[in-house]
Structure 1
Amino acid sequence: MKQLIILSAVIAFTLSANAQKSAVYVKEDIAINGYDPVAYFTEGKPVKGSNNFTHHWNNAGWRFSNKNNLDSFTANPGKYAPQFGGYCAYGMADGHKAPTEPDAFTIVNGRLYLNYNKQVQQLWLKDQSRLILAAEQNWPVLKDKE
C-alpha cells in the first residue's frame, strides 16, 4: 500500500510537469521518445529510431530504425502507432496523460501499449483487460487536453 501511495505521488508530480495538449506523446516534436513503433512488432523490443528515417504523422515526427519500418508505418500508421498516442495506458485508464518509457510495453491483440515505467507496467499487467476498456473510454475525452 505504501508503495502504491508513493507511486501515485510520483505519477501526479510527473503529470503536472509533463502534461501535454498533444494527442501524441512528444518530446521536441518527436513521438514516443524517438523509438521505432514498428520495431516493437517486428523485433519484440524497443529500438531507437534514426533521424534519417522520419515520417510526420498526427502532428508528430515518428522515427524508424530502417526504411522497411518507415514504409510499413507510412502504409498503415494505425496498425503500428501505440494506443492512446503513446501516453501511458495505465494512466489513461486512471483518467490522465502520463509520459512513457520505451521498455515498458506490451502488445495485446495486435496493439501496442506503453507504460510510464516497469513498475506501472506490473500494475497494468494485473488487470489489463479492464484497464484497456477504461482507457478506451477516457481517450476521446482526454486526447486533446493537457
Structure 2
Amino acid sequence: MKSTMSIKIRKGLLAGICILLFSLGMKAQSHSYSTDNSMIALEGYSAVSYMDKGKAEQGKKTYKASYDGLTYYFVNQNQLKSFQNNPRKYQPQYGGWCAFAVSLGGKYRPDPESFRVVNGKLYLFTVNPEGDFVKVWEKEGSGKHIAQANKNWQSMKKFKTFGP
C-alpha cells in the first residue's frame, strides 16, 4: 500500500512539473522578436548605424524610440530622427533572429556585431565557435538562404525562444 501511494505521489508531482514547464514555455513564446524581457531591440545597438553606416555601434539611452513594442537606441539625434521617419526601414529581418538559423528552420540569438545588409535589409547572425554562419550563408548563396528563411518565417514568426 505504501509503495502504491508513493508511486501515485511521484506521478502527480511529475505531471505537475510537466504542466508547469509547458505553461512557462507557452508564456515565453509570446512574440517573434529576439530580445529578452527588457524589450530592447538589437541589444542596444543602433539599427540606423547598421543600415546607413554599415557598422555595429552601441546606441545611447539618451536617444531612444519605441516601435512595435520594442525600444531602439541610437548614437545621436540625427539617427533617432531617421528612425522615427521610417522605422520599418531599420527593422532587422526575422525579428532579429539569426538569418542563417531561420533559413534552416531554427531560432538562435544573434551576435549584434555579426550582420550583413543585403538589398537594404538587415540580417543578423549567431557566432558559433564551430563555424562562421555568415561565411556559410554567403558561400551557399545568401539569396537561397533568404528565400528559404522568408518561407520558414511565415510559420515561425509567432513563436519566440529565449536564450542562445
**So what's the TM-score if we normalise by structure 2?**
0.73
Question: What amino acid is the match of 1:26?
Answer: T
1:21, distance to aligned residue in structure 2 (A): 3.8
C-alpha contact (below 8 Å) 1:40/1:46 kept by paired residues = yes
Match of 2:43 in 1: 33
1:117, distance to aligned residue in structure 2 (A): 1.7
**Separation of aligned partners in 1, 2:29 and 2:144:** 25
**Separation of aligned partners in 1, 2:29 and 2:79:** 27
Matched, 1:120 2:133: yes
C-alpha contact (below 8 Å) 1:24/1:58 kept by paired residues = no
Q: Which has the larger radius of gyration?
A: 2
Match of 2:31 in 1: 22
Q: Which aligned runs of 4 or more in structure 1 are off by greater than 3 angstroms? A: none
1:41, distance to aligned residue in structure 2 (A): 2.1
Matched, 1:95 2:105: yes
1:20, distance to aligned residue in structure 2 (A): 5.2
Task: Give the unaligned 5+ runs of structure 2.
Answer: 1-24
Task: Give the unaligned 5+ runs of structure 1.
Answer: 1-15
Question: What amino acid is the match of 1:97?
Answer: K
1:29, distance to aligned residue in structure 2 (A): 1.4
Cα RMSD for the two superposed structures? 1.7
1:42, distance to aligned residue in structure 2 (A): 2.2
**Separation of aligned partners in 1, 2:71 and 2:51:** 19
Matched, 1:85 2:99: no
**Separation of aligned partners in 1, 2:50 and 2:97:** 16
- What SS does the corresponding residue of 1:39 show, helix, strand or coil? helix
Question: Deviations for 1:14-62, whole angstroms, at most 9, x for unmatched residues?
Answer: xx9xx75432211321111110011012221100011111111111111
Question: What amino acid is the match of 2:136?
Answer: L
Identity of aligned residues (%): 34
**Separation of aligned partners in 2, 1:90 and 1:65:** 27
**Separation of aligned partners in 2, 1:115 and 1:99:** 8
Of 130, 134, 138, the residue aligned with 2:148 is 134
C-alpha contact (below 8 Å) 1:115/1:121 kept by paired residues = yes
**Separation of aligned partners in 2, 1:136 and 1:62:** 24
1:102, distance to aligned residue in structure 2 (A): 1.6
How many residues get paired?
Answer: 129
C-alpha contact (below 8 Å) 1:21/1:143 kept by paired residues = no
